[in-house]
Amino acid sequence: MGKLLLTGVDGNLGAEAAKILMELENKENLIFCGYNPDALKPYADIGIETRVTNFNHKEGLAEAFAGAERLALISMPFVGAKRQNAHRNVVDAAKEAGVKQIIYTSLVNADDETNPSVEKKDHIYTELYIREQGLDFIFLRNSQYAEAMITNYFTFVHMDSVLKNSQGDGLMAYISRKDCAKALAYALHRGGEYNHAVLNINGPELMTISKFIEYGNQATGNNVSYKELTDEENYRVFDAMGVPRTTDGVFKEGSEAPYSSDGMVTFAQAIREGKMAIKTDDFQKLTGQEPITVLYMFEHADDFQVGDRHSKDA
């Protein structure tokens, strides 16, 4: 049997997945990849094979993936042609290297043509490309990271305690990024049990943003309320925060919203229109565990913040 290869271990999701995977597998079975050699060194120091990769350039990727039977591709945090090109480079190199199965972190309802999220376009592109190359796959269609909205909640605590966006009464089964990492690690670990699988990785409860805020208030003692905006008003909120409209823009260091506003506003629109209201028990079946609740995350909020962007997009 070939090795299990985890990409992006120098990022937030990848680092958490690496930690869990090291508990599930012998280090001799693992290959960890990332673009930052400094982040790879601690793994190399304990005997895990590490390889430096930059998905924006195909050169050397097939060699970096050599010896792997299953590969986990964590989607890049930029949006559009750059992300599609990076993902295509990984898939092409994986096929050339003889990788049998790709585990890809996708998005709930990625294949719905009526889903307005610009994020989903890259995810369905990547899913279809993997299928077209004839590779086996596990697509982990993740719900929204709760961490993103927990950080957002505290942003508005520091402002006027009125959380404003355009998702209205739409439903989302918010899930922790830690649980998405756990699902990724388990998918690598148990990949041989799955074939051409699509799994929805969802939190334990479908809820509106108002309910999400209620949990935040219950846990923290704050008194945040919710105000629904139009999509254009939502753009202006992010403009005022200095958030770039696309991932081609400049991201402020330490930003509480390290994403593009185009991605966030169209994502809110998708929630509002009911395109993200998906809840399954796929996470429980894959990991044998229950997902973390939003209330628990708020009660331990310091451990559930969105953090900085970790990627190389050039």
pLDDT > 90 in the chain, percent: 85
Sign of CA dihedral 282, 10, 195, 29: negative
Measure the CA–CA gap between 293 and 285, rounded to whole angstroms: 17
User: What is the b/e burial string over 129-162, where b = at least 16 CB atoms within 10 angstroms of the residue's CB?
Assistant: bbeeeebbbbbbbbbbbbbbbbbbbbebbeeeee
Contact 260, 76 (CB under 8 A): no
Give pLDDT tens digits for 61-83. 999 999 999 999 999 987 888 89
Neighbours of 278 (CB within 10 A): 19
Q: What is the mean pLDDT of residues 46-64?
A: 97
Give pLDDT tens digits for 202-252. 999 999 999 999 999 999 999 999 999 999 999 988 888 787 776 555 555
Measure the CA–CA gap between 40 and 85, rounded to whole angstroms: 24
Q: What is the mean pLDDT of the chain?
A: 93
Neighbours of 282 (CB within 10 A): 18
Written as six digits, the tokens of 3 are 């090795």
Measure the CA–CA gap between 88 and 264, rounded to whole angstroms: 24
- pLDDT surpasses 80 at 107: yes
* Torsion angle of C-alpha atoms 188, 193, 194, 195, degrees rounded to 10: 120
